[in-house]
Amino acid sequence: MEITEYFTLVFTDYTLRTITLGTAILGAICGMLGSFAVLRKQSLLGDAISHAALPGIALAFLITGTKDTNLLLIGALISGLIGTFWIRGMITKTHLKSDTALGLILSLFFGFGMLLLSFIQKQPNANQAGLDKYLFGQAATLVQKDVTLMAIVTGICLVVILLFWKEFKMLLFDADYTKTLGFNTRFIDVLITFFIVLAIVLGLQTVGVVLMSAMLLAPAAAARQWTNKLSVMLVLAALFGAFSGVFGTAISASQNNLSTGPVIVLVAAVFVLVSFIFSPERGILFKQIRFWKNRRDLQLQKTLQFMFDIVRDHPDISHPHAIKILNNFQGYTKNTLKKMEEKNWVQVKGMKWSLTQEGYHAAENLYKQ
């Protein structure tokens, strides 16, 4: 299938529409909540939570014996939350730094989850296959009710963000200060974390345990490049996430056998790359251009200053001087003189230059502020 064919089919084909809608919604909610995680410098938390969810899925299957997605995801939610609270406990109760606590929980829970998965696989039960789809995700298994659940959670999440907008913003910027104003910072904190865990759990079926954190971080990291406003950042991150979902699904549907989760993550990575390079204020391209431009301007200004020092001693400022003198000045090139002529700072006649009124003023004000 060609990509163009995909986009005509997406509106008519039921399966394709469901999957596309699901990945788009998932991308949007992850982008929004990921912005909070990035700004709290808790980028790795998402990674730890998603890995911590794996044993919950396996245990839910062992206990209930069914592969009903909702039941398994409740298991994931519970073990994800347990992992999160253990991480918080470790950070507050011990001397361990947060990166150590995150790494420990991530690998411990993931190891336990893998152990359970291999145990399940040895069971004499035909029902066992397919649990490993939660490792890397399988968007093709999304059905209408999964998407409905995602949409409901995203809706609730949006309402909560809008209601507690000022509390969230203040906590993200300055938690201590928020506390002195009488706000229950623990409650706000738990609320944010709970929704992050929820979003991750929702994404496990589609993107999988291993790649889930990229869904949170990539759109947010890309969005941060384009704006200095928190609200705009959230909207952009949601859009980037949603587009990653749609394009990722489109590419994987049109190229046979490409699994959707990794493709979505790679599309999100393209958003990050483009943002890092091309964003006007923070991007490396424009930063480099500004750097070059400043250096060139500085060179012009230094040459102008040198000329000014010569001209100053003459009664007539536009008295012509030999270009040869300028060779004494380090950093002078023919090109500089041309540029200065363009700026109307100097006039060049034959082998002589003279400062214009405009150039004289520019030089006078050069280092005055």
Partner 1 sequence: MEGSKIAVQVDDLTVAYNYKPVLWDIDLTIPEGVLMAIVGPNGAGKSTLIKAILGIIDPIAGSVAIYNEPYEKQRKKVAYVPQKGSVDWDFPTTALDVVMMGTYGKLGWIKRPGKKEKKAALEALEKVGMLSFKGRQISQLSGGQQQRVFLARALVQDAAIYFMDEPFQGVDATTEIAIINILKELRKANKTVIVVHHDLQTVPEYFDWVTFLNVKKIATGPVKDIFNDDNLTKTYGINYKVAVNQ
Phi-psi region of 329 (alpha: psi -120 to 50; beta: other; left: phi over 0): beta
Candidates 78, 170, 310, 323: give the one binding partner 1 (CB under 8 A). 170
d(CA 59, CA 71): 11
Candidates 169, 321, 339, 343: give the one binding partner 1 (CB under 8 A). 169
Candidates 52, 101, 117, 167: give the one binding partner 1 (CB under 8 A). 167
The set of residues, in sequence order, having a beta carbon less than 8 Å from that of 167 and lying 6+ positions away, is 178, 183, 188
Is the Cα dihedral 357, 362, 367, 369 positive or negative? Answer: positive
Does residue 119 bind partner 1 (CB under 8 A)? no
Binding mask 91-110 for partner 1 (x = CB under 8 A): ----x---------------
Nearer to partner 1 by Cβ, of 202 and 222: the residue is 222
Does residue 5 bind partner 1 (CB under 8 A)? no
Does residue 88 bind partner 1 (CB under 8 A)? no
Query: Helix crossing, 284-311 with 334-342: angle to 10°?
Result: 90
- Binding segment (CB under 8 A) for partner 1, from list 11-19, 74-82, 167-175, 266-274: 167-175
Does residue 227 bind partner 1 (CB under 8 A)? yes
Structure tokens at 230: 């928190």
Query: Helix crossing, 98-122 with 69-93: angle to 10°?
Result: 150
CB 139 within 8 A of CB 131: no
Candidates 85, 119, 165, 292: give the one binding partner 1 (CB under 8 A). 165
CA separation (Å) from 141 to 68, 133, 203? Answer: 12, 9, 12
Candidates 182, 330, 350, 369: give the one binding partner 1 (CB under 8 A). 182
Candidates 147, 216, 224, 271: give the one binding partner 1 (CB under 8 A). 224
Q: For residue 262, how many other CB atoms are within 10 A of its CB?
A: 18
- Binding segment (CB under 8 A) for partner 1, from list 159-167, 200-208, 245-253, 347-355: 159-167
Does residue 291 bind partner 1 (CB under 8 A)? no
Q: How far is the CB of 180 from partner 1 (least distance, A)?
A: 4
Does residue 140 bind partner 1 (CB under 8 A)? no
Nearer to partner 1 by Cβ, of 169 and 339: the residue is 169
Phi, psi of 211 (to 5 degrees): -100, 0
Nearer to partner 1 by Cβ, of 36 and 332: the residue is 36
Does residue 276 bind partner 1 (CB under 8 A)? no
Query: Helix crossing, 260-278 with 284-311: angle to 10°?
Result: 10
Is the Cα dihedral 131, 137, 143, 148 positive or negative? Answer: positive
Name the site residues for partner 1 (rule: CB under 8 A): 39, 41, 95, 163-167, 169-170, 172-174, 176-177, 179-183, 224, 227-230, 232-233
